[in-house]
Amino acid sequence: MPRRSTKKGTQKAKPDYVLFDRETQAFIYNLQVNATQRMLDFDFVSGRGTPSVAAIVNPTGNDSFQKFFYGPREVLLPVYKTLKNAAKRHPNVDVMINFASFRSAAASTLEAFELQQIRTVVIIAEGVPERKMRELIAKAKELGKVIIGPATVGGVRAGAFKIGNTGGTIENIMESNLHRPGSVGFVSKSGGLSNEAYNIIARSTDGLYEGIAIGGDRYPGSTLLEHLLRYEANPDVKMMVALGEVGGVDEYSIVEALEGGRLTKPLVVWTTGTCTKAFKTEVQFGHAGAKADADAETADAKNAALKKAGAHVPTSFDDYGNTIARVYKGLVKKGIIAPAPEPVAPKVPMDYAAAVKGKVIRKPTNFICTISNDSGEELLYGPMMISDVVKKDIGIGGVISLLWFKKLLPPYATKFIEMCLVITADHGPAVSGAHNTIVATRAGKDLISSIVSGMLTIGPRFGGAVDGAAQMFSEAYDSGRTPAQFVNDMKAKGVNIQGIGHMVKSVHNPDMRVTLIAGYAKKHFKRTPLLDYAFEVEKLTTSKKDNLILNVDGCIGICFADLLRNEFTKEEADEYIKMGALNALFVLGRSIGLVGHHLDQKRLKQGLYRHPWDDIAYMLDK
């Protein structure tokens, strides 16, 4: 194993055989949120004082911060665009966990090699080009660096440091006792089998000290033997466990080390892939190197050689745990291993999203919505799925009835709603809403700003009479006052009757919009008591002045009040009026016209109109 090169004053001196301890911190290369959070959860249950992740390097982003949890509290981890900047700000970091793709893993690893402080690089990607990998291995030996991977999940120093997703979820970490150190040093080619081995070791011994998955590609950055030699040199490791696999000859270097006395601690080892002899043809397993091209590369041949050299080789993988337990008990009996009391580990709080999904917590809602729901497979408008809304062709009137009144009103009612939207869409450019929209548009304002400018003028003198008329006439009718009494009362109070009066229209020049609305209501509504009452009031007001007619705002408001009373109780109808539902109808309709005015002014300003009458209209308005 190469010797460590350290930068004076930035890192504590460690023995050569130690890659990770409780002070080790790493850079995560590429934004890997889940892997980072799992490392921090491991740190918390292990009782580390500082997180093992110092920073994240995200070459496609910008310098920023990313939120994570450290136990119950939220912490911020810095994110840097460049590895060089991260290293400058965190000189104590000596590990980089490289989540770059197989295309860029080599280049980013070489970039890390240029930093003296980085000793260990873990390459997660599978399929790194073999030529590139051989170059990286040579460079690492030249510089005294350590590579774990590629095609690896990494590894773990129990109770001290975990690489990425090694060990799986925090529940599996705790079940495998990886939150505290044991006496077993483990190394494997397979990442998946290493996780299984941690579980076996936890049930067969006092637990793992360190475990490394070197990766399954043909040219791993470090070998099984190199890590076993580290364990041999480490006095805290009392026994060693390894998993080889069919293909290649790496396991024979372990045989030579056993025969040459370089490995003296008890070693339990099994080479997987003994099932290949059951196949008639060559079998390529999942790893790039897991294919026997010669008899010596078969699992059976390697297991036999290891056993002959003095390793403890089980009869099958099923016997793996039994063999590990037998060797461990022998070491305990000899006093070489003294099992320590099991420490109490803190519990990692469950993530909120996971807790909600698992239905283990409940939380009061921040606000309530009873008109729509998009949390299921299909959007709901009230009780109707959006597909039914479209299929049944309920129109915008039906959608309004569902979202405003929480039920689908009869066709005559939804048709009336649509009729009101058509009639209120525009009153021309002279009214205040259109005027303000035009002025704002000419001032260079965007669509939303221009429309809002016009909408803010809605009130008792512009549109607001829809609500006002409905309320005023409903109260007069419900109080039992005659139309004459109502008119006289308003005159005595000096209050204008909302919904009565027009600047241009009169008895002799009626407003066609009122005629259309009132005619529809009389023909299709079940009853129109408020509209009838309003026309009686109109007879009295026009007898004094012929322009004191029922205007369009008043007619819409009064007819809508009649509609609501036909379909709801009187109390419900009055409540909708008080909430401003009728004025909302005017707001919705008028927004259509105001958008038109905005677009019209944009076209004029850009010179898109060429008709002479457009030019005349523009000049007159200007």
Q: What confidence tens digit (pLDDT) does each residue in 29-45 have?
A: 999 999 999 999 999 99
The 3-state DSSP composition of the chain as helix, strand, coil percent (nearest 5) reads 45, 10, 40
Q: What confidence tens digit (pLDDT) does each residue in 583-599 have?
A: 888 889 889 999 999 99
DSSP string across 396-460 = HHHHHHHHHHSS---HHHHHHHHHHHHHHS---TTSHHHHHHHHHHHTT--HHHHHHHHHTT-BT
Domains of the chain and CATH, by start: 23-151 (3.40.50.720), 181-336 (3.40.50.261), 372-424 (no CATH), 458-579 (1.10.230.10)
Residue closest to 190 by CA, chosen among 169, 159, 211: 211
Instruction: Write down the catalytic residue from 287, 312, 427, 502.
Output: 287
Strand-pair partners of 212: 155, 187
Per-residue pLDDT at 447 exceeds 60: yes
Token duo for residue 605: 């300003």
**Residue whose token pair is 């030019």:** 615
Q: What confidence tens digit (pLDDT) does each residue in 111-120 have?
A: 999 999 999 9
Per the annotation, the verdict on 287 as an active-site residue is: yes
Per-residue pLDDT at 328 exceeds 70: yes
Choose the weakest-confidence range: 260-264, 278-282, 441-445. 278-282
Q: For residues 458 and 448, what is the distance between their CA atoms, to the nearest angstrom?
A: 16
Q: What is the pLDDT of residue 352?
A: 82
- φ, ψ at 67 (rounded to 5°): -85, 135
Q: What confidence tens digit (pLDDT) does each residue in 382-430 have?
A: 999 999 999 999 999 999 999 999 999 999 999 999 999 999 898 888 7
Q: What confidence tens digit (pLDDT) does each residue in 349-394 have?
A: 888 888 888 888 887 778 788 899 988 889 999 999 999 999 999 9
| Percent of the chain scoring above 70 in pLDDT | 91
Contact 477, 529 (CB under 8 A): yes
Q: For residues 106 and 155, what is the distance between their CA atoms, to the nearest angstrom?
A: 20
pLDDT band, residue 622 (cuts 50/70/90): very low
Per-residue pLDDT at 613 exceeds 90: no
Q: What is the pLDDT of residue 608?
A: 61
**What is the mean pLDDT of the segment spanning 111-138?**
96
**What is the mean pLDDT of the segment spanning 145-170?**
95
> Residue-wise over 496-514: b if at least 16 C-beta within 10 A, else e?
bbbbbbbeebbeeeebebb
pLDDT band, residue 180 (cuts 50/70/90): very high
Helix residue ranges per DSSP H, 114-149: 130-143
Q: For residues 104 and 130, what is the distance between their CA atoms, to the nearest angstrom?
A: 13
Q: What confidence tens digit (pLDDT) does each residue in 538-564 have?
A: 999 999 999 999 999 999 999 999 999
Strand-pair partners of 373: 380
- φ, ψ at 220 (rounded to 5°): -75, 150
Q: What is the pLDDT of residue 620?
A: 47
Q: What is the pLDDT of residue 14?
A: 84
CA-to-CA separations, 284 to 60, 278, 293, 298, 318, in angstroms, rounded:
36, 14, 10, 12, 22
3-class DSSP state of 211: strand
Contact 583, 458 (CB under 8 A): yes
pLDDT band, residue 184 (cuts 50/70/90): very high
Q: What is the pLDDT of residue 165?
A: 94
Q: What confidence tens digit (pLDDT) does each residue in 279-303 have?
A: 555 554 554 444 445 678 889 999 9
Contact 85, 64 (CB under 8 A): no
Q: For residues 513 and 401, what is the distance between their CA atoms, to the nearest angstrom?
A: 22
Tell me, yes or no, if the pTM score tops 0.85: no
Per-residue pLDDT at 619 exceeds 70: no
Contact 521, 416 (CB under 8 A): yes
Q: What is the pLDDT of residue 190?
A: 87
Residue closest to 205 by CA, chosen among 51, 321, 69: 321
**Residue whose token pair is 């396991």:** 251
Contact 492, 486 (CB under 8 A): no
Contact 534, 554 (CB under 8 A): yes
Token duo for residue 153: 């999940």
Q: What is the pLDDT of residue 297?
A: 85
Q: What is the pLDDT of residue 288?
A: 47
Q: For residues 426 and 43, what is the distance between their CA atoms, to the nearest angstrom?
A: 65
